[in-house]
Structure 1
Amino acid sequence: MTADPVATFALGNIARSPGDSTGNNSSKSMELEAFWAPFLLLHLGGPDTITSYSREDNELWSRRLLEFLFQVVTAIYVFMRSLRKHPLSLLAIPMLITGILKYGERTLVLKLSSAKKLKDSLYPAPDPGPDILGRDTVLDMDTVTQMGTSTDLVPVRIEKSECSNPKDDYLASHFLFKRFRYLFADLVLGYHEQKESYDIIRIRSAAEAFKLVAIELGFMYDVLYTKATIVYSKFGILLRCIYLFSHIFVSVFFLIIIQKHAYPTIDVCITCVLLFGAVVLEIFSFIALVLFSDWSKLWWTKLKNAKRVSTSCCNCLLAINSKRWSRSMGQKNLISYCLERVSVRSFQNVFGINELWSLTWKDVNDDLQEFIFKQLLNKGKKIEEGGFTVELCKEFLAQRGDYALSERFCLDEFRWSTLDVEFDHSLLLWHIATDLCYYSDFNEDDPDNLHPKCKIISKYLSDYMLYLLIMCPNMLPKGFGEMRYRDTCAEAVRFFQKTVSRASHRSDKSSKIRKACRNILQVNTDSSLERKKGDKSKSVLFFGCRLAKQLQALEFEEDGMNNIEEKWEMISEFWVEMLAYAGSLCEWKEHGQQLRKGGELITHVSLLITHLGLSEKYQVRSRLGIWSAFFAEMLAVIIVIEIASSKEWLSVWLDCDSVSVVYCLLNPNYQPPWKLYVAGIIVALYHAMYQDTGFELLSRRLVKQLQALEVEDDGMNNIEEKWEMISEFWVEMLAYAGSRCEWKEHVQ
């Protein structure tokens, strides 16, 4: 991060140094210093593997453009000032050109990766639609049906032939990536995109699906934070070759031809280091470009399928492992953290050191991936069976633990801790309850007595969700989570200070937590708890204790059989639902921010949910395969008439609410086989199917309605009242937009 200011400072110092000097050594030293200026431009251009450290850097590309212009002018000034008839001036020319190109590449990539430019690049070309004023235009029913069932909502319809082998990881990942980038730009996709993505994911195992998503997010990371948009093209590869050969040529020329003894030794050493560093960086970038990049592996895969290169060579290159994300998830435990606050020194609490020290990390292992994927895939199959309808999709997305409880007929008993409270409230309640149940069921003599779902899934996901609440609150639904967490911690610390003895501080961590959980479970949490707590504090410590006691009561059925495994399976499914619910509501820009830190598990789960059809980002069609209520009613009328004709009925009663459909049936120009004229019903039909185009006609209809308000029944002109109504409408629109805008956007 200090490379840019250091290079800028050095370039400024070179520019400020005097252009001529009476001393011979000073003159020679100035020649070398002028030769360094292009190298500083190279360093300002940065490596190919990183261009920005956050999304905000991309949005500030215009500032980078000004810096680029200023630095280039400065470097050219230094070069022209020292331009003389000596070999170093000739060597500086190719370095200056490559430096300007590399620095310009970085500025261009920042612009292309900005949110607005990324979205603009994905927008389709403006489509005014057919000319509805052409009276001679006639559309038959086949054309209308194609219009009604069109799902070409994205600018580029990605044909499935591009993914000729859906089982190949790189081809499938790139195929899905082309869809994912539209969602990242807050655009929507159509039914076919939803179905094809689901077909690719459902045939894979959990490990394969997570690997697919990891490659896909790697593509997205490269687009946002590296020079991938330029590098992985024919022009980009050509530039890389030019950079490498020019650096090698200048280095060899300097080492062989330049008389180094004529220059100060320290300056020659610095020049050699700069040349060596430039060559090494270019070689490293070129190797990474060819061998270790997912983009290059995608390219090699396409060549292998086209049989243009040796299959064995491609397999060797594809076998090279590239680590795409950490495969780890942060862990934050409330009870453990509060116990540490009681025992550690006060200055650690003041400076927040204990808050960071309490964080741990766990691997996202195969068992956890398998359980998450299995639960998501089951919901995806139900969405597919239901025809990917909007209602079913929204129903599954709204589940945050209630589905796992309702499957075991205990939703009513636990509704107070799920649906009746906010998300962050429910998260803290179940986090505390999971911890209390975990250490209550944990047997010190037999540490392996618990079911793996308890140790791996329930406990790890519980701690991970609390980690997100504290360290990544923007990725979770908005609420008072941080305030509830602080109040709960304050109450827990006060409770432990009264109940935990000083002797227990010297015991091991596991024993200390187990004793603390036992003390919490001994607290009376009957119906009088609400009256004792009041509404002032938002602490949920003992409400979580009440929930834990309810969960423990589920262990014994009427026949006395211990069903502890079923209880922990329910808790595990609850946390997967909570994770999926949070992931589906998190904005994609927040997921993009986390990619620069190695990625989060919730981002991978969110993308899996989307590919399985569980997302509102799809323009989901109805069960009839059509887009509007009017078109559905129109087809229903057609079917009724066809049935009546086949049965030779003389009359049929149609209960139809659509004026347009009635007009179509009463139109004397109407003749089978349902040819619809633009002058009639096809205008309304077109607007019903394409609600995002043809606003001109709708605007004219609105203008006529507003003009009709000017004359009342008594003939009095009420134009002032009309304009007052329009003014109030726009004030309401402004207030609505302001209430929906986040405060951080207002601050920006």
Structure 2
Amino acid sequence: MIPSCFGSLMYVKGRKVMELFPGNLRKLWKDWELRVMVLVSLSLQIILIFFGNRRKYSSKIWVRVVLWCAYLMADWVATVALGVISNNLGDVMESVDKGGSLDADAELTAFWAPFLLLHLGGPDTVTAYSLEDNELWLRHLLGLGVQTGVALYIFLMAWTGSPLSLLSIPVFCAGIIKYGERTWVLRSASNEKFRDSMLTPADPGPNYSKFMQEYTLKQFEGYHVTADEVIEAQAPVNHSLAENYSIPDAAELLTAHELLHVFQRLFVELILGFDDREKSQSLFRGISLEKAFKVIEIELGFVYDVLYTKATVIYLFHGCCLRFISFSCTFGVLVFFSFAEHKYSHSHVDLLISYLLLYVALLLEGYAIILLISSDWTNHWLTKHANTSIRRAITCLQLPNKNHRWSNSIAQFNALSFYLKMDKPTFSYEMQKLLCLDSLLEKFRYMKHKQVSGELRTLIFDHLKEKFEHLVAPSIVATDIRTVLTCRGGGVLEKYYCTELDWSIKVDFDQSILIWHIATHLCYYKDHTEIFDNTIALKHKLSKRLSQYMVYLLVMRPFMLPVGIGMIRFRDTQAEITKFFEEHKPSSLDNSSSTNTHSHGSSRLRVKFFSWARNKPKLDKSQACNMLLKVNTAVPAVKVKGDRSKSVLFDACRLASELQAISDKCKKWEMISDVWVEMLAYAASQCRGNHHAQQLRRGGELLTHVWLLMAHFGLTEQFQISQGHARVKLVVK
């Protein structure tokens, strides 16, 4: 006998068959199927509006995972729910055709259809999860037509002329507005339309043929004619930005918005003109560190809003009008629905869900309006246009300003910790391997985040400011920009008279990153107990932080770096370091403990081994670094190993030994930190604009901020127009 909880027997055309689910369970699901879907759709909308904007300033993975699941499920659940309503209504209409009447509960569930259309429009805080979603705007346009048609079909089939049918009309209008806004925004943010929106009108320039006709005529008349160039006076740049202390960051908002219209072209690989460069450089020539990074934060926040939210609609006048209409429709329906005489003619559960749909829709509209007036877009408008009374009234309604414009953090990935497996896995390696998640989870386990400190900002800003001043010096010609941008450590080595280390720079960029990363950490763990000067300690810490950030980009974001074989080198280096420590038995490790600075000659170095995937010694980082520093690297590794393996382990050991030979620790760590900043600047300049745009939805990247800051200093090859507007006049003698 089969237990009744697993199924029951029934007869179909005289044959005995088994039902997978018992009849009472199927009836329960039929009664609650639509209700569950509507409630799930409503819950997903709440998640989207509250988490949609959070990823702008959060780098936490769980935020992106929750938002990704909600974004993918929201459209699917709402679409299926519309299909269920349509199907149920079709069954009811069959009974109506046989002489029955439209059930009151069926009429109420048909009232839910325009709310599902409202859900398909999505919240203002997230229209696209990634840039690829913007390219699918045609699919959403088709969805707009189809789902609106289904909702209209439900509305017409359930029409009875009752107050409930009339109340469906305003909600239907609000749903079409929301869904239409979403489709329009996706179209506007698609790469083609976004690029077209920034193209300037076609300009034929001065009338060359007319000029030459006059030139020829004067020559024919016997005059000596020359064409002299006229230097046009450049329009002065207004530096006197209005300081409005009632609006936070008022001056920076004006600057960022002014620069946005020009520098957003960088995200779609368009070039900028000579006058754009001059204007930007003049603004940033005397700007302070804090204001420069604040302008960059605001500007990138604007770009995020344009690409991933409904900002291109809701911050315009007609967008505000549409928002007012949708809010008024929802509020009016809630008021009239509350006073309608239907409390005893409908199911209490369905009535409760209807009230829930109305109240939550109104609350979400209200929250969206609060977010709208609390944004940088509104503050910018208030700074430029609003009078004191309007400004004071709106600022009272704004949410507290927490300066959440990006995550203000950089990811850290320590290759040595990863190679040596310093951290224990959260669950068995075999289970991870079985689920094909071992490599993914393993990398994330060794990834951490650190705040971008003021000292790190100062180090980067000073380096870029020095490059900028070198670029605009009178003795430097404009073509030197490529020389400046292609430096990835060599300029620093030349500055510190350490050109003998050039061999570590004149290799592939990914190879150079790994070599310097391992060498930096070998020196770090060798010197960290011997540094007492605060200045050296600061450079010491910043070098490690930048080193781990660049390796994070190499391992987790390789598309942001120049094309190379970074992961092959990373894996080969891992294999070689594993082999190196496997060959050193416990006795050899014990012998190395005599040089340990922490032993004081009285305690032996205790080394434990653990068996996980392979038999590997579990080492302390400083102990492992001491062992690697002892390797004799007099002969370059490539002469011994050839080019079959791409490992850089012993090249890094060689570089670390040469760095340790520098007696002046202050000079050494200043040079190392400057090399990493130059590598960071090089990587930023080589990364494409759309990759920078993708990172805005992950809390932002320091690399993107450096890239845009370099562009404002004129340190980019996308300024390809070397001269301003040419004008000539005829000189007749």
TM-score, normalised by the number of residues in structure 1: 0.76
Instruction: Give the secondary-structure state (helix, strand or coil) at the position aligned to 1:259.
Output: coil
The answer to whether residue 78 in structure 2 is matched with residue 7 in structure 1 is yes
Contact 2:372–2:378 at 8 Å: present in 1 too? yes
The answer to whether residue 332 in structure 2 is matched with residue 332 in structure 1 is no
Cα drift, residue 246 of structure 1: 1.3
Distance of aligned partners of 1:618 and 1:66 in 2 relative to their CA distance in 1, 3 Å threshold: same
Once the two structures are superposed, what CA deviation does each residue of 1:38-87 show, in whole Å capped at 9, x if it has no partner? 10011110011110001100111111111111101111011011011211
Contact 1:162–1:175 at 8 Å: present in 2 too? no
Contact 1:39–1:95 at 8 Å: present in 2 too? yes
Contact 1:376–1:609 at 8 Å: present in 2 too? yes
Contact 1:342–1:493 at 8 Å: present in 2 too? no
Gaps of 5+ in 2: 1-70, 219-224, 244-249, 590-605, 611-616
Once the two structures are superposed, what CA deviation does each residue of 1:296-334 show, in whole Å capped at 9, x if it has no partner? 111111136x66745797699697233011111111111
Instruction: Give the secondary-structure state (helix, strand or coil) at the position aligned to 1:47.
Output: coil
Question: What does residue 316 of structure 2 align with?
Answer: 233
Question: What does residue 513 of structure 1 align with?
Answer: 621
Cα drift, residue 205 of structure 1: 2.4
The answer to whether residue 112 in structure 2 is matched with residue 36 in structure 1 is yes
Contact 2:114–2:168 at 8 Å: present in 1 too? yes
Determine the C-alpha separation between the residues in 2 that align with 1:287 and 1:517: 54
Question: Counterparts in 2 of 1:590-601, with a 5 A limit?
Answer: 590-601=691-702
> What is the aligned length?
612
Question: What does residue 674 of structure 1 align with?
Answer: 731
Question: What does residue 621 of structure 1 align with?
Answer: 722
Contact 2:85–2:109 at 8 Å: present in 1 too? yes
Determine the C-alpha separation between the residues in 1 that align with 2:242 and 2:718: 26
Distance of aligned partners of 1:26 and 1:546 in 2 relative to their CA distance in 1, 3 Å threshold: farther
Contact 2:407–2:699 at 8 Å: present in 1 too? yes
Q: Letter of the aligned partner of 2:551 in structure 1?
A: L
Select the residue among 158, 161, 167 that pairs with 1:82.
Answer: 158
Question: What does residue 302 of structure 1 align with?
Answer: 384
Question: What does residue 574 of structure 2 align with?
Answer: 489
Contact 2:382–2:391 at 8 Å: present in 1 too? no
Determine the C-alpha separation between the residues in 2 that align with 1:316 and 1:160: 35
Contact 1:303–1:309 at 8 Å: present in 2 too? no
Cα drift, residue 207 of structure 1: 2.4
Instruction: Give the secondary-structure state (helix, strand or coil) at the position aligned to 2:720.
Output: coil
Determine the C-alpha separation between the residues in 1 that align with 2:366 and 2:730: 68
Instruction: Give the secondary-structure state (helix, strand or coil) at the position aligned to 1:537.
Output: coil
Once the two structures are superposed, what CA deviation does each residue of 1:679-725 show, in whole Å capped at 9, x if it has no partner? xxxxxxxxxxxxxxxxxxxxxxxxxxxxxxxxxxxxxxxxxxxxxxx
Question: Counterparts in 2 of 1:45-56, with a 5 A limit?
Answer: 45-56=121-132
Question: What does residue 263 of structure 1 align with?
Answer: 346
Contact 2:371–2:399 at 8 Å: present in 1 too? no
Instruction: Give the secondary-structure state (helix, strand or coil) at the position aligned to 1:535.
Output: coil
Question: What does residue 17 of structure 1 align with?
Answer: 88
Question: What does residue 109 of structure 1 align with?
Answer: 185
The answer to whether residue 231 in structure 2 is matched with residue 174 in structure 1 is no
Determine the C-alpha separation between the residues in 1 that align with 2:730 and 2:455: 59
Determine the C-alpha separation between the residues in 2 that align with 1:505 and 1:258: 78
Determine the C-alpha separation between the residues in 2 that align with 1:381 and 1:510: 49
Instruction: Give the secondary-structure state (helix, strand or coil) at the position aligned to 1:18.
Output: helix
Question: Counterparts in 2 of 1:528-567, with a 5 A limit?
Answer: 529-554=637-662, 556=663, 563-567=664-668
Instruction: Pick which of 131-140 and 603-612 moved more.
Output: 131-140
Question: What does residue 593 of structure 2 align with?
Answer: none
Distance of aligned partners of 1:380 and 1:83 in 2 relative to their CA distance in 1, 3 Å threshold: same
Contact 1:453–1:572 at 8 Å: present in 2 too? no
Question: What does residue 222 of structure 2 align with?
Answer: none
Contact 1:453–1:569 at 8 Å: present in 2 too? no
Determine the C-alpha separation between the residues in 1 that align with 2:200 and 2:186: 22
Once the two structures are superposed, what CA deviation does each residue of 1:588-627 show, in whole Å capped at 9, x if it has no partner? 00000111111100000000000011011113526xx787
RMSD: 3.2
Determine the C-alpha separation between the residues in 1 that align with 2:684 and 2:370: 36
Determine the C-alpha separation between the residues in 2 that align with 1:311 and 1:70: 45
Q: Letter of the aligned partner of 1:171 in structure 2?
A: L
The answer to whether residue 664 in structure 2 is matched with residue 578 in structure 1 is no
The answer to whether residue 266 in structure 2 is matched with residue 183 in structure 1 is yes
Determine the C-alpha separation between the residues in 2 that align with 1:364 and 1:378: 21
Distance of aligned partners of 1:388 and 1:295 in 2 relative to their CA distance in 1, 3 Å threshold: farther
Once the two structures are superposed, what CA deviation does each residue of 1:165-217 show, in whole Å capped at 9, x if it has no partner? 49811000111111111222222112221122122223332222111101000
Distance of aligned partners of 1:258 and 1:199 in 2 relative to their CA distance in 1, 3 Å threshold: farther
Question: What does residue 669 of structure 1 align with?
Answer: none
Determine the C-alpha separation between the residues in 1 that align with 2:648 and 2:233: 51
Distance of aligned partners of 1:189 and 1:227 in 2 relative to their CA distance in 1, 3 Å threshold: same
Cα drift, residue 269 of structure 1: 1.2
Select the residue among 469, 472, 476 that pairs with 1:384.
Answer: 472
Q: Letter of the aligned partner of 1:409 in structure 2?
A: Y
The answer to whether residue 449 in structure 2 is matched with residue 361 in structure 1 is yes
Q: Letter of the aligned partner of 2:457 in structure 1?
A: Q
Q: Letter of the aligned partner of 1:175 in structure 2?
A: E
Determine the C-alpha separation between the residues in 2 that align with 1:115 and 1:299: 27
Question: What does residue 5 of structure 2 align with?
Answer: none
Q: Letter of the aligned partner of 1:674 in structure 2?
A: V
Select the residue among 556, 561, 575 that pairs with 1:476.
Answer: 561
Contact 1:297–1:317 at 8 Å: present in 2 too? no
Distance of aligned partners of 1:505 and 1:112 in 2 relative to their CA distance in 1, 3 Å threshold: farther
Select the residue among 498, 505, 511 that pairs with 1:410.
Answer: 498
Gaps of 5+ in 1: 152-157, 557-562, 636-671, 677-748
Once the two structures are superposed, what CA deviation does each residue of 1:640-670 show, in whole Å capped at 9, x if it has no partner? xxxxxxxxxxxxxxxxxxxxxxxxxxxxxxx
Cα drift, residue 379 of structure 1: 1.1
Distance of aligned partners of 1:496 and 1:172 in 2 relative to their CA distance in 1, 3 Å threshold: same
Determine the C-alpha separation between the residues in 2 that align with 1:144 and 1:317: 58
Cα drift, residue 414 of structure 1: 0.9
Distance of aligned partners of 1:176 and 1:470 in 2 relative to their CA distance in 1, 3 Å threshold: same
Contact 1:341–1:354 at 8 Å: present in 2 too? no
Select the residue among 127, 142, 149 that pairs with 1:66.
Answer: 142
Contact 1:25–1:264 at 8 Å: present in 2 too? no
Determine the C-alpha separation between the residues in 2 that align with 1:465 and 1:367: 18
Determine the C-alpha separation between the residues in 2 that align with 1:263 and 1:137: 86
Question: What does residue 275 of structure 2 align with?
Answer: 192
Select the residue among 298, 303, 306 that pairs with 1:215.
Answer: 298
Determine the C-alpha separation between the residues in 2 that align with 1:184 and 1:388: 28
Contact 1:520–1:545 at 8 Å: present in 2 too? yes
Cα drift, residue 378 of structure 1: 1.2
Contact 1:333–1:466 at 8 Å: present in 2 too? yes
Select the residue among 86, 95, 103 that pairs with 1:27.
Answer: 103
Question: What does residue 523 of structure 2 align with?
Answer: 437
The answer to whether residue 486 in structure 2 is matched with residue 398 in structure 1 is yes
Question: Counterparts in 2 of 1:706-717, with a 5 A limit?
Answer: none
Cα drift, residue 138 of structure 1: 4.1
Once the two structures are superposed, what CA deviation does each residue of 1:437-494 show, in whole Å capped at 9, x if it has no partner? 00010218x8887823334310000000000011110100111111101111111122
Contact 1:484–1:538 at 8 Å: present in 2 too? yes
